[in-house]
Amino acid sequence: MGYAKDMTIISSLLTLTFLFYALGRSADTIIYNLRRIGAGLGLNLFFLGIVLGLFTSLPEFAVGVNATINNVPSMATGNLFGGLFVLFGLILGSSLILNRSVRTTGSALLWPLAVLYLVAPFFLSLDGNLSSRDGTLLITAYIALLFYASRIYKHRRRVLYRDQISAIFWVITGLVLVIVVSNIIVRTTLTLLTSLGLPPFAIGLLVFSIGTNLPEIIVMLRSWRRHARALSVSSLLGSALANVCILGFLAVMRPLPITIDASFIIMTSFLLALVLLLFSFASTARRLTRSEGVVLLGIYVLFVATQLWLLKIQGPFPSLFSG
């Protein structure tokens, strides 16, 4: 009986690994062809990165919707909250360590507005609930931020050509694949949760948050190789903003109950430290450095270690968030 259970767990883990790879490749198809369309339309590189961030968050969106439909919204919540730490702590921190430094561009007002938006869900959750009204507010604020970003950057307006029309076809194909694969991921994970007894929020926070950010990792690597480093930073910022917007969308679908406990308070404190440090680093000489990358990565490692410690001391994998 134990052997059969172990084989089921191993099989589920291998399946999830393959599915996350497929999810990343599908999203990469979307990203690559969107870059073709954006270049053809003459979009500003930094603004294009913010828009790309919306599309690199498609895995989170698809997983979130499927998790909500399958009645495990806490998995989606953990995925989206954890994604903020992965984006700015793990991915950006690691890329700065490996590539030394990167210049940051953008309006002086855009960064503080982005910081306020990123921490907004945590303050809106202090009443123990992310309501449909809160979700509507987050979605509206996201649209306003995109509009503001589009106004402060100059674009060279062009028309679509035939090769860009084919790019639109591949974007749609990639969207379909992302939705299908994410649905299979959620169903496979539910089987794994039953076998391990792990809470959905912990899976989303510590595992899904890495798996669904494969597109961001791909964008970062390609941006560095093609000497478009501003694109990597802006796409990470855009993806983080999109994560919050997706959280708002899920709250509109179904209000999200949130338990204000030690885990929530610690997570909020870590996020505040992370985004405030990032804002400070980005504002200093308009450059992010390797030493700052070490700090960002260190915050992520400490955050994960703290969450694992909380799981251990609170008993046999208690649910961190209700639902």
Q: What is the pLDDT of residues 100-129, one digit of tens each?
A: 666 666 555 777 888 889 989 988 988 888
Model pTM score: 0.76
Indicate if the pLDDT at residue 224 is higher than 70. no
- Please report which confidence band the pLDDT of residue 206 belongs to, taking 50, 70 and 90 as the band edges: low
Percent of residues, the chain, with pLDDT higher than 90:
11
Query: Other CB atoms closer than 10 Å to residue 197's CB: what's the count?
Result: 8
CATH class of 2-313: mainly alpha
The whole-number pLDDT of residue 10 equals: 77
> How would you classify residue 130: left for phi > 0, otherwise alpha for psi between -120 and 50, otherwise beta?
beta
235 to 5, 47, 153, 216: CA distances (angstroms): 41, 9, 15, 7
DSSP 107-158: -TTHHHHHHHHHHHHHHHGGGSEE-HHHHHHHHHHHHHHHHHHHHHS-----
Indicate if the pLDDT at residue 239 is higher than 60. yes
Which residues lie across from 129 on neighbouring strands? 257
CB of 222 closer than 8 Å to CB of 320: no
Indicate if the pLDDT at residue 309 is higher than 90. no
Q: How far apart are CA 220 and CA 216, in angstroms?
A: 6
Indicate if the pLDDT at residue 277 is higher than 70. yes
Residue predicted with more confidence, 241 or 191:
241
DSSP 195-236: HH---HHHHIIIIIHHHTTHHHHHHHHHHHHTT-HHHHHHHH
Average pLDDT, the chain: 77
Segment 196-218 shows an average pLDDT of 70
State phi, psi for 147 to the nearest 5 degrees. Answer: -65, -45
The whole-number pLDDT of residue 138 equals: 95
Indicate if the pLDDT at residue 86 is higher than 70. yes
- Please report which confidence band the pLDDT of residue 316 belongs to, taking 50, 70 and 90 as the band edges: very low
